[in-house]
Amino acid sequence: MTNFLCKILFFTAITGSSWCFRNDSSPEENRNIPVIAKYFGTKGRYEEVNPYLIRNILAVNRSSLQPPSPQCREIHLTAIIRHGTRYPTAKNVKKMQKLYKLVQSSARGEDCWLHEILTQWTMWYTEDMDGRLVQKGVEDLKHLAVRLSKLFPTIISEEKLRGGLIKFITSSKHRCVNSTLSFKAGLTEMWAITDMEFQHAVNDALMRFFDKCTKFVRDVDNNPSALSEMDKFTQGPEMVRVQQKIADRLNVSYHLITYDMVEAAFYLCAYEFAIKTVNSPWCRLFDEIDGQVMEYALDLKQFWKRGYGYDINSKSSCILFHDVFSRLDKAVNEHNSGQAVNEAVTVQVGHAETLLPLLTLLGFFKDSETLTSTNYASQRERSFRTSRMLPYAANLVLVLFDCGGRDIRLQPLVNEQPVVFPGLADRQESMPLYEDVKRQYAELLNGCDFETVCELFKPAEP
């Protein structure tokens, strides 16, 4: 009787009938969106950051850009973009397979969602997927290209693309190269360009600087104690409660549900949603409070490994920071001297690990209080929230405007939303003067030498 009822309930759930009550969908009443979707951290969809895209994936809001004068026009744009939606890494696939085997062998219960996992859902993730870009990731970058061209039509234009004024740089990782190809395809398909191809450069020194920074690799990346705050939180009362609730839902012994198992279940929900837009039965293992606890654990990891936790995390991006400002300076100098700007647009595709250290170096999303294992409750309204900062296809866009009379201004956007440079929030202008921005970062511009901070040429011991 139970199996028959579950089949009826499952059928009615997916067909939209009211027979099957679900408590795992979002407050917006969209049954396809898990209630925990906005807590997926770096595994989240871009659409959760900008929900209006759910209705129209090509929607833009030009009114959000408020230049001080109607005569302001774009002269250069730099975009640093994370790759699109990808498959899980081999490491995470192994964790997911281990959880799946445990549920298959030990879970018991009468719930519909559990019956679906046990009888209908199959483990389709394989280790050889290992972070490859999925079709949704291709679409992420194509759509982003179209939206940016709609936001800044005079500079991301067919004329400039054909004229070789739009440059593309990428990390060597296949998901980044394929994301770069997808961004280019978004432009060429929009303008029906079939008679030309556009090259890209692979530059890991810029887009994978974290691999090259000796001090970061030694002191943080390969140092197990660097993530001690995350480790303490995953063993603390908030996470233990999440583990117990999941064990209760599966009707298994508490000792079987480790943090790795909880993380695997969270990722199964996240990947099913990001890749296939499916509200997976795995999502029913979590309620919204569980999602918030999981997000904080993952934010602790990013905070201490790539963000404000250690100074070297952000300083490792000095090489990219200087590259960005040298491009901006070059564009300003060319423009002010009456020359055409040789590189009107620069599109650089990398990783979450590329973007977060740079955002940190620039001072964005910094809270007054450090994220630790013991202040979860007081950090509910924190700015440092990777679900908002670093979804798939996350981006930092810097746009130079000429507002007349050499009045050059710089507008930053994060995930297509205008933001304010830290330290310049008290200025009246929505777009600060470029020279004011340079003064704000003068210490970094005059220092922050990659080879020095990363100890690339540390002198030999006497």
DSSP assignment of 31-94 equals: TTSBTTGGG-GGGS-HHHHSTHHHH-TT---GGG---SSTT-EEEEEEEEEE---BPPPHHHHH
Q: pLDDT at position 269, please?
A: 98
Question: For residues 169 and 126, is the Cβ–Cβ distance under 8 A?
Answer: no
Query: What number of residues does the chain have?
Result: 462
For residues 132 and 303, is the Cβ–Cβ distance under 8 A? Answer: no
Taking the CB of residue 123, how many other CB atoms lie within 10 A of it? 13
267 near 313, Cβ under 8 Å? no
The residue written with tokens 């250290």 in the block is: 357
**17, pLDDT greater than 70:** no
Res 177 pLDDT > 80? yes
Closest C-alpha to 63, from 408, 417, 433, 422: 417
Residues 434-448 pLDDT 10s: 999 999 999 999 999
Question: What gap in Å lies between CA 33 and CA 80, rounded to an integer?
Answer: 28
How far does the chain reach from its first CA to its final CA, in angstroms? 80
3-class state of residue 398 by DSSP: strand
Burial (CB count within 10 angstroms: exposed 0-12, middle 13-18, buried 19+), residue 54:
middle
Q: Which of 76, 83, 115, 200 is catalytic?
A: 83
Looking at residue 66, its pLDDT comes to 84
pLDDT (tens digit per residue) in 197-248: 999 999 999 999 999 999 999 999 999 999 999 999 999 999 999 999 999 9
Token pair of 116 as six digits? 């679906």
Q: Which domains does the chain have, with CATH numbers?
A: 41-454 (3.40.50.1240)
Active site residue 83: yes
What average pLDDT does the segment 130-136 reach? 97
- Percent pLDDT > 90 in the chain is 87
Q: What string of DSSP letters covers 97-122? A: HHHHHHHHHH-----HHHHHHHHT--
pLDDT in tens, 241-259: 999 999 999 999 999 999 9
pLDDT range class, residue 428, cuts 50, 70, 90: low
Asked if 391 and 49 touch (Cβ cutoff 8 Å), the reply is yes
Across 115-137, average pLDDT: 96
pLDDT exceeds cutoff 70 at 308: yes
- Integer Cα distance of 59 and 303 in angstroms: 31
pLDDT of 461 over the 60 cut: no
Give the residue-averaged pLDDT of 271-296: 97
Residue 21 confidence (pLDDT): 41
pLDDT tens for each residue of 314-352: 999 999 999 999 999 999 999 999 999 999 999 999 999
Residue 22 predicted with pLDDT over 80:
no
How much is the pLDDT for 2? Answer: 47
Q: Which residue's structure tokens are 């990428």? A: 170
Residue 143: pLDDT over 60: yes
Q: What is the pLDDT of residues 395-419, one digit of tens each?
A: 999 999 999 878 999 999 999 999 9
Is there a contact between 169 and 80 (Cβ–Cβ < 8 Å)? no
Answer yes or no: is pLDDT of 24 > 80: no
